[in-house]
Structure 1
Amino acid sequence: MSYAQHRQTTLPSQIRPSSGFGSNPSTSTQSSALQARINEKKVELENLRQLRDLSAGLAEQMQQLENKLSTLSSGTEAVAAVLGNWNNVLRAVHMASCK
């Protein structure tokens, strides 16, 4: 028998087929662990996308609230000015009615 007949050919673990033929259990375990990590990251990415969308919606609602509060503040100032003038109007009416 020659040396070539007794020699076993082995492939490095990086290029071994992953179909189960010639693969060792640790490579399969690493592959499934890697796939599980990829799946976790996909779920995390989807959650981050949802968070981004919800945050954008919240920011828009806060902008609308700011606009409404600004309108309310302006309206309150106008009401205060009118009420302040009523005192003067009533005083003038009272003075006119007394004469």
Structure 2
Amino acid sequence: MLIGGATTSKAHTAVKIEPQYEHPVIYVTDASRAVGVAGKLLTPALKTPYVTEIREEYEKFVSVMPSAAPKQRIWTTPKLASVASVPTGTPIPQPSPICWG
């Protein structure tokens, strides 16, 4: 998978996307570089060393980012969530109508 653009970064790719996908995930900084990356991935002699290099680079990102560790998610049902919701008890003030005369 080649990924890039304004909505992602190399760090985001390394931490969030690559661990979720079993095939190579390559962050490409610019569309003009995608051809060179695709060429490396399509050349059998270059693919394995290139993918290994990228994965090692991604591992460096993951090792230095504290938020990179996978988080344990606790799921609940909507019914249980409504029972456990926090009661506000605060009345909501109603705005006074404005009279323009």
Please give the TM-score of this superposition, normalised by the length of structure 2: 0.25
Whose helix fraction is larger, Structure 1's or Structure 2's? 1
Rg larger in structure: 1
Structure with more relative contact order (C-alpha pairs < 8 Å, separation 6 or more): 2
